[in-house]
Amino acid sequence: MTAIERTAYPRFKSLPNLKELAELYTPTESELAFARVQTASKEGRFRLLISLKAFQRLGYFPDAASIPTALIEHLRKLLNLNSSVDAIAPLRSQRRYETAIRTFLKVKIFDAGARQHIAIAIATAATTMDRNADLINVAIEELVKESYELPAFSTLDRLAGNVRSITNHRLFQQVASKLTPAEQTFLDELLLSQSVEGQVTLNLLKSPPKSVRLSHIIQLQSKFDKLMSFGNAQRLLAGIAKGKIQSFAAQAKALDISDFRDIKTNKRHALLVCLLYRAQVKTRDYLVDLFLKRMRKIHYLARQRLVELREQ
C-alpha cells in the first residue's frame, strides 16, 4: 500500500459505474448556467465542466491525464459533442476556468495562511498521533472545513513529516531531561553486546511470556523484578499521550542494537524508556494473568480430586 492509499486524500476511481457517473458527474442546472456565462462555445463549456466536476469530486484540480475517460465521455454525451472535440483546454483558458470555479464554489486557494493553519492543526494532533497518514487526514479535514483547495499530496506529506519530527524531538528531550545519570547508564547497558549475569538486556524487554507452568511463572517474576530495578518508567512519560508511548515502543521493538547506536542520544533514551515501560506493564499483566490461570487450574484439579474421593 502506497503512502497516499493510507490517507483520505481524494483520488478518482479508475472505472466509475453508471450510477456514480449520474450522481457525481452530471452537472446541475445552476452549473450549466455558470458554464454558459463563463464560455462562449459548447466546446468551452465541455472543458470547463470537466474541471468543475473533477474539482467537486477531489477538492483540487487534477492533471488532465488522471481524469477518467468515463467522466469525459459522460459529459461529452450530455452535451452532444462528437469525439473530435478535445477535452483539454489551452493553458490560459484552463487557468481562467480554475479561477472562475473557485469563485463559483467559494473555495480559497491554498496559500501561506492555509499552510500555517494546518501546521497548527497537525502540531496539535501530533501530540497524540504518530502516523503520518493520520496527520495528513487531520490536515485534509481542516482544509475542507475551512473551504481551502487541497494542495498536492507531496506538500501535505512533507509538512506532516516535518511537524511530526519537531513534535517528537520535543517529546524526546522532555523524557531525556528527567533521566538521572544512573538511569542513563541503565539504558545504555541495554545495548551492550555482552551482558553480565542478572543484567537487563534489550532481548529481555522484547521477550514474550511463556506458558502457565510454575517454572515459567517464576521466570516471569524474575524478569519483572529485573525490569523494575530501573524504577517505574511511567513517571518519565508523564504528559505524553498513551498512543505516542505505544508508537515509540513499537519503533524501539523493531530496532536491533546496531540500529539504536545510530540514533541520537535523546531519541535513543526516550525510545528505550517507552519500550521498558511497555515491558513493565505487559510483564505485570502477564504475571497476574498467569497466576490466575494457575490458580484456576489448581482449583479445577482439586475439584476433580474431591469428586474422586467422594466416589471412593
Q: What are the grid coordinates assigned to 252, written together?
A: 524501539
Separation between Cα atoms, residue 175 and residue 161, nearest integer Å:
21
Residue 309 pLDDT class (50, 70, 90 cuts): confident
Separation between Cα atoms, residue 25 and residue 238, nearest integer Å:
51
Helices (H), the chain: 18-25, 29-38, 42-58, 69-78, 91-105, 112-125, 132-145, 153-176, 181-189, 202-206, 214-228, 242-253, 257-261, 265-311
Supply the pTM of this predicted model: 0.82
Does residue 197 have a pLDDT over 60?
A: no
Does residue 14 have a pLDDT over 90?
A: no
Q: Over the chain, what is the mean pLDDT?
A: 90
**CA count, 13 A, side-chain hemisphere, 82:** 1
Contact 277, 241 (CB under 8 A): no
Cβ burial 75-111 (10 Å sphere, 16+ → b, else e)? bbeebebeeeeebebeeebbebbbebbbebeebeebe
